[in-house]
Structure 1
Amino acid sequence: MLVPACAVGGALLATELGERENVLVLARPVEVGHVLAVQDLRQIALAADVQAGSIAASAAPTVLGQPLAFSLPEGSLVTRSVLGASQVPEQGKSIAAVGLKPGQFPSGLSPGTTVAVLLAPGQGSSPAAVPEAATKSWTAVVVAVSGGQSEPLTVVSLQMSESDGRELSSAPAGQLNLLVIAGGNR
């Protein structure tokens, strides 16, 4: 009696959960242009109605060796639209590079993170002498982080609107700070 009851319960549970299929997601953050390898992928089970252009895990060999068109965080769904030639920056966007010292950005900063770029007053400036532009901030998405502890500066590449990128590029060196904000990853 217990075995048939479990079978019926299992069937009802499967019906409630819906049909599932294993699809590909990223096992780690990847940068634009990265060529996909086995270690970059993992699979998860998704309901058939939530798959949104996903690639079945059984089709993994068709994506191996293909470059990514965008920088994406770990756990991103792999779809045909994220594969191919670089799509960064997209129309109307720009990528600005900023050189930052430790303490000017949060540790663990990775591609896909949304940040506020804050222009700090220069050294020796009194609050009354700080021009209005010194309180300027921009919103951006991190597309790459290079450098590290053995280098004096870490270069962070930021995607933002073209006009904001032009303005940020003229900001004084050493006066920028990054703040991770809500929306964290794309």
Structure 2
Amino acid sequence: MTSTDIDTGGGPDTAAVERPGAWLDSTGSPGTPPRRRRRRLPHLLFGVLLVVCCVGGAVWWTTGSQDRVAVLVVARPVGVGQVLTAADLRSIDVAVAPGVATVPAAQVSAVLGRPMATSLGPGALLTPDSVGDAVVPGAGRAVAAVAVKPGQFPPELAAGTRVTVVVIADTAPGTATTSAGGAPWQATVIGVAPAGTDQATVVSLELETTAATELAQVPAGQLALVMQPAGGGR
């Protein structure tokens, strides 16, 4: 009797057998093997992010440009009562927050020739209240006059300059120094009177009321003025 052996071991040739009809087209003829699709997801995500960044940058730049306006600032120290000239002002572009009072650069003609209502230093924003009737001293502030000699103040001192007032020892015989609990004091110069026959220069200072009272109790000759960076604030 003849027996037929069936190979069920799945030898090497079995793995090489392709699924029937895998490469056949609709007519049964051999077709082109299918191509594997490349994964382009990372490139797609990069393109989307690039577009988002470009759009966001354009919106940010446009918004920032629209919020910036040309306003007037003080170009050099100006004091109370001083009549404004074109040389006293300059224009800058700033982003103005809601509620901040400014004078648009286009309205410069409305303030030229008018007196200052307060003292401002270089770089300070000009506001509508800065021009007109004097408002010095303001609420909670006072004006004190000090007499200083050469060497006790910078010769560049002018109205609008921010200064620190310090107490120094008087070396004159028979003169005792005083105790000033609040020293040093922060003040704004609102006027400088030229030196008289005694070579003393009188400087008017605006500062807090309590500080002005303490300052007035210091004997003449025991004070010195130190200039501070320009800022214009009180």
Q: 2:183 aligned with 1:137, yes or no? A: yes
- State the distance in 1 between where 2:108 and 2:229 align: 33
How many equivalent pairs are there?
175
Matched, 1:165 2:212: yes
Name whichever of 27-36 and 51-60 sits farther off.
51-60
Quote the RMSD (CA, aligned, Å): 3.4
Report the TM-score, using the length of structure 2 for normalisation.
0.61
Q: Tell me which residue corresponds to 1:74.
A: 122
Larger RCO (CA under 8 A, 6+ residues apart): 1
Task: Mark the structure with the bigger radius of gyration.
Answer: 2
Name the residue aligned to 1:94. 142
Secondary structure of 1:22's counterpart equals strand
Q: As a proportion of its length, which structure holds more strand?
A: 1
| Residue 115 of structure 1 pairs with residue 167 of structure 2 | no
Corresponding letter in the other structure for 2:126: V
Query: Are the equivalent residues in 2 in contact too, given 1:148–1:154 (CA < 8 A)?
Result: yes
**Following TM superposition, by how much is the alpha carbon of 1:79 offset from its aligned partner in structure 2, in angstroms?**
1.4
State how 1:1-186 maps to structure 2 within 5 Å.
12=58, 14-15=61-62, 17-19=64-66, 20-47=68-95, 49=97, 52-123=100-171, 133=179, 137-139=183-185, 140-147=187-194, 152-180=199-227, 185-186=232-233
TM-score normalised by the chain length of structure 1: 0.75
1:151 and 1:181 mapped to 2: Cα distance?
A: 27
Instruction: Give the aligned partner of residue 4 of structure 1.
Output: none
Per-residue deviation, residues 45-83 of structure 1 (Å, max 9, x unmatched): 223547922121111111122221110012221111212
Question: Would the alpha carbon gap of residues 146 and 50 (structure 1) be closer, same or farther in structure 2, given more than 3 Å must change?
Answer: farther
Letter in 1 for 2:157: L
- 1-side partners of 2:61 and 2:197: how far apart? 53
Unmatched tracts of structure 1, length 5 or more: 1-7
What's the % identity of the aligned pairs? Answer: 37
Secondary structure at the counterpart of residue 18 of structure 1: helix
Please say if residues 112 and 184 of structure 1, whose CA atoms lie closer than 8 Å, have aligned partners that are also in contact: no
